[in-house]
Amino acid sequence: MNYPSGIKKDKTTITRRKIDYKNRGMNLENDINETNNYYIEKNIAFIYKKPTPIKLVKVDYKKGRIDEAYFEMPSTTDYNGIYNGKYIDFEAKETTNQKGFPITNIHKHQIQHIRNIYNSKGICFLIVRFTKYNETYLLLAKDFLEYIDNVGKSIIPREYFINKGFRIKDKYIKKVDYLEILNKMEDEK
Amino acid sequence: MNYPSGIKKDKTTITRRKIDYKNRGMNLENDINETNNYYIEKNIAFIYKKPTPIKLVKVDYKKGRIDEAYFEMPSTTDYNGIYNGKYIDFEAKETTNQKGFPITNIHKHQIQHIRNIYNSKGICFLIVRFTKYNETYLLLAKDFLEYIDNVGKSIIPREYFINKGFRIKDKYIKKVDYLEILNKMEDEK
């Protein structure tokens, strides 16, 4: 279940005393949103987080107020948009797991979506933050799918991200500057 | 205010007795969603409607239930995705106005978004249905922006859609087959 940032923050507050790294990790979504806002302000890219899908049950139409609703499972990834005329699509997740990234963090529908976008020649990837190490990696859909199709469906070891992924270093303004990684890949082609 | 389809349907039911065309017009969103589902099933394109943004006020985290929330103004268009590796972005609106399309139907933020996507070389357009005539047109961002920048900001006459836009004929399965229009444009290049 992919809750909006408000809820994540709450969880964070509760666990703050326990591990500061976890708290930092919980901010991945905010870091990416800040980065996207920077890209938008500078006319670099137009990539947005999709709102969390909601199932409406009770709505006061006059007041435009929702009195009862439930979070729904997202069928696509959280972020998509355009950069240099190219379609960009990614999912962002943080994990407190020290061994690796539990694949259960990505829903079945989202994996199919990642496959579809990859097959459609979109630029598709995961951004995963290992909160215990405060390391953030970009893993291309190609390498993500290669792992789950050929190796295993339970957990992707941190080593796989170190070897196949691209480390995204913390920055002051562009907190999660993933476009820099994509540019480097483009240059190396 | 851009309400989710559920609400549109309610309004429709109320006005059904009045004008059948209006009722038909109110189904544009459903027609596009059906068309998108067809594209997805056939692996032709992966274009989705974004959920309506919601401002959460009261949430029961344990039950994942929203007890108070409000609809928010969308800052981007409703639909985006990928087709043949290209970024697709559009807004869909129906109008009961017989003279033309009132530009107030598109929020200021959405117009800026359309401008941004057009400048980023994304394939961006409006799908407008004139419910009184049951005519549906695709108008490219280029022609939409040309009108509001050079002619007027209140209403785009139906004639402009007839001359500059592309009529999308009703179909049985692909109700609003806008990709057929894009393909024709591509062929004519």
- Are B77 and B91 in contact by the 8 Å Cβ rule? The answer is yes
Q: What is the least distance, in Å, from the CA of A114 to any CA of chain B? A: 11
Distance CA A92, CA A128 (A): 6
The H helix count followed by the E strand count for chain B is: 7, 10
Instruction: Answer yes or no: do A87 and B86 touch at CB < 8 A.
Output: yes
Mutation target to probe the B interface, by most B beta carbons within 10 A, among A12, A120, A123 is: A120
> CA-nearest residue of chain A to B122?
A85
| Residue from the list B61, B64, B116 with its beta carbon closest to the beta carbon of A70 | B64
Distance CA B185, CA B175 (A): 19
Q: What is the pLDDT of residue B64?
A: 87
Tell me: ipTM over 0.90. no
3-state helix, strand, coil in chain A (%, to 5): 40, 30, 30
Q: What is the least distance, in Å, from the CA of B108 to any CA of chain A? A: 16
Distance CA B20, CA B23 (A): 5
- Are B85 and B78 in contact by the 8 Å Cβ rule? The answer is no
Chain A residues close to B116, C-beta within 8 Å: 40, 43, 46
Low-confidence ranges of chain B (pLDDT < 70): 1-26
At residue B162, φ and ψ (nearest 5 deg) are -65, -40
Q: What is the pLDDT of residue A22?
A: 39
Q: What is the pLDDT of residue B26?
A: 54
Q: What burial letters (b/e) apply to B99-119, b meaning 16+ CB within 10 Å?
A: ebbeeebbbeebbebbbbbbe
The number of C-alpha atoms within 13 Å of A156 and in the hemisphere containing its C-beta is 26
For residue A70, the SS3 value is strand
Contacts by B181-187 with C-beta closer than 8 Å and gap 24+? B181/B138, B182/B83, B182/B88, B182/B123
N-term to C-term CA, chain B: 37
Instruction: Answer yes or no: do A61 and B10 touch at CB < 8 A.
Output: yes
Mutation target to probe the A interface, by most A beta carbons within 10 A, among B7, B8, B66, B86 is: B66
Q: What is the pLDDT of residue A84?
A: 93
Give tens-digit pLDDT for A64-96. 899 999 999 898 999 999 999 999 999 999 999
Distance CA B64, CA A64 (A): 21
Give tens-digit pLDDT for A128-181. 999 999 999 999 999 999 999 999 889 999 999 999 999 999 888 889 999 999
* Statement: residue A59 has pLDDT above 60: yes
- The pTM is what? 0.84
Residue ranges of domains in chain B, CATH in brackets: 26-188 (3.40.1350.10)
**H or E element: which one contains A79?**
strand A79-83
| Residue from the list B51, B65, B87 with its beta carbon closest to the beta carbon of A85 | B87
**The two structure tokens encoding residue A77:** 């990834």
Q: What is the least distance, in Å, from the CA of A28 to any CA of chain B? A: 20
CB neighbour class for B67 (10 Å; exposed up to 12, middle 13-18, buried from 19): middle
For residue A13, the SS3 value is helix
CA B108 to chain centroid, in Å, comes to: 15
Give tens-digit pLDDT for B41-90. 999 999 999 998 999 999 998 888 999 999 998 889 999 999 999 999 99
**The two structure tokens encoding residue B178:** 């806008």
Q: What is the least distance, in Å, from the CA of A10 to any CA of chain B? A: 10
Q: What is the pLDDT of residue B171?
A: 87
